[in-house]
Amino acid sequence: MYKPFSDLVIVELAGVLAGPSVGLFFAELGAKVIKIENPKTNGDVTRSWKSPLENKEDLTSAYYWSVNAGKEIIFLDLTLAKDLETFYVLIKTADILISNYKFGDDHKLKVDYETLVQINPHLCKHQWLWHSKPTYSLRFDSTSRKWVHVYEWRKK
């Protein structure tokens, strides 16, 4: 099967539905998607979102895997200097960052685009247009069209 994004590296700092769905689409098209989860919160909250029909002994919900299949999962506490440094190493090789942090939270953690573009000037970031409020909706805004253009530019 043709994998058009097999040479892309994507770092995902997103949880619940919208961000992980975008990451899933890239993973299905061949990109290496590295999902960062917080060990303090036991990762993405959807790990525990189980339907009544799921086996209670399974540690992770089917819903979680439905939007995170095919991804490399790494637990990093971005409030710790050593984990933040590990994250920055990942950013150096990334093509795209997917984030659904509420505006301001990314600045507090030092994972805002302005900081990360200093580490990797070619980094393309996708964040929701209305990022002043958290969102769980599966919405693809106009910035998602930029990904294809960035990908084409990097290939030249």
CATH number at residue 115: 3.40.50.10540
**What is the Cα–Cα distance from 25 to 56, expressed in whole angstroms?**
28
Quote the CA–CA distance of 96 and 12 in Å, as a whole number. Answer: 8
Which is it for the CA torsion 135, 113, 3, 45, positive or negative? negative
pLDDT, average across residues 52-57: 86
> What mean pLDDT do residues 39-63 have?
87
Diameter of the chain by CA atoms? 50
- pLDDT tens, residue by residue, 7-28: 999 999 988 877 898 899 999 9
Which domain does 137 fall in, by range?
9-155
In a domain, 2, yes or no: no
72-91 residue pLDDT tens: 999 999 999 999 999 999 99
Q: Mean per-residue pLDDT for 57-68? A: 90
3, part of any domain: no
Structure token digits, residue 139 = 């919405």
41 vs 152, higher pLDDT: 41
Q: Does residue 5 contact residue 30 with C-beta atoms inside 8 Å?
A: yes
Report if residue 25 sits inside a domain: yes
Alpha-carbon distance values, 89 to 8, 44, 53, 127, 154 (Å): 16, 22, 41, 21, 20
Instruction: Check whether 51 has a pLDDT greater than 80.
Output: yes
Residue 87, token pair as written in the block: 């994250």
Q: Is the pLDDT of residue 48 over 70?
A: yes
- Does residue 90 lie in a domain region? yes
Q: What is the tens place of the pLDDT at every residue in 93-148?
A: 999 998 877 778 888 999 988 899 999 999 987 655 545 555 444 444 444 444 44
Domain count, the chain: 1
pLDDT interval class at 151 (50, 70, 90): very low
Give the residue with greater pLDDT, 54 vs 116.
116
pTM for the model stands at 0.81
